[in-house]
Amino acid sequence: MDVQINNICKTAFYHLRNIAKIRKFLTHRQCEILIHAFISSKLDYCNVLLSGLQQSQINRLQHVQNSAARFLKATSRYDHVTPVLNNLHWLPVFARIDFKILLLVFKGLNGLGPLYRSELLEPYIPNRNLRSSKKKLLVVPKYNLKTYGYRAFSHRAPTLWNALPDDIRQVDLLELTFKSKLKTHLFRQFFYYFFKKILIYYPIDFIFIPPLL
């Protein structure tokens, strides 16, 4: 994975330097479009394979996103980047990975993906009629390899899915409801602790807190 992460960082910073050369000719919206096209797309491409990696490796990709956010908002490298990501409404890298995995799970459970992916997801059916039988939980299989086993889709996906709130697991519509609720949940989950801290230092209207859907 080190080789893949090196290539992602190298390519992303190459494009960011090129965008910086023409920044004065671009509007804020045009610059954001270019960043999503050349940098965010690199961070999101096959990012499911990055799930469960060591935090030090994820931090390298997060540095790419942080640099792009600072560049877009023209903030100093010494300023805290979390308010910038919050203002742009960008999920951090690890949350984008979880978002992609959970999206694949939703598609697999609703027949929107290939059969082989659906076969990796086993619905949890208790022996007795329990309240959990209506929560759309998945069986979390055991893994053999301690180093890589927990990163397997068959284990990682059910673990993340079962940790979702009940109202998100019960959603049936993909585009209109599930994606929106899932992003709001991940966004709040990451920024909630930070919100409580920066309210001391920033005006209340600086912080964007998405409404509950």
Residue pair 72/35 in contact (Cβ under 8 Å)? The answer is yes
Query: How many whole angstroms separate alpha carbon 187 and alpha carbon 184?
Result: 5
* pLDDT above 60: residue 206: no
More confident call, 161 vs 130: 161
Calculate the alpha carbon distances from 66 to 69, 85, 190 in Å. Answer: 5, 8, 15
Q: Tabulate helix, strand, coil % of the chain (nearest 5).
A: 65, 0, 35
pLDDT tens digit sequence for 33-53: 999 999 999 999 989 989 888
pLDDT tens digit sequence for 64-96: 999 999 999 999 888 888 889 988 999 999 999
This prediction has a pTM of: 0.83
Query: How many whole angstroms separate alpha carbon 11 and alpha carbon 8?
Result: 5
More confident call, 125 vs 60: 60
Query: How many whole angstroms separate alpha carbon 38 and alpha carbon 11?
Result: 9
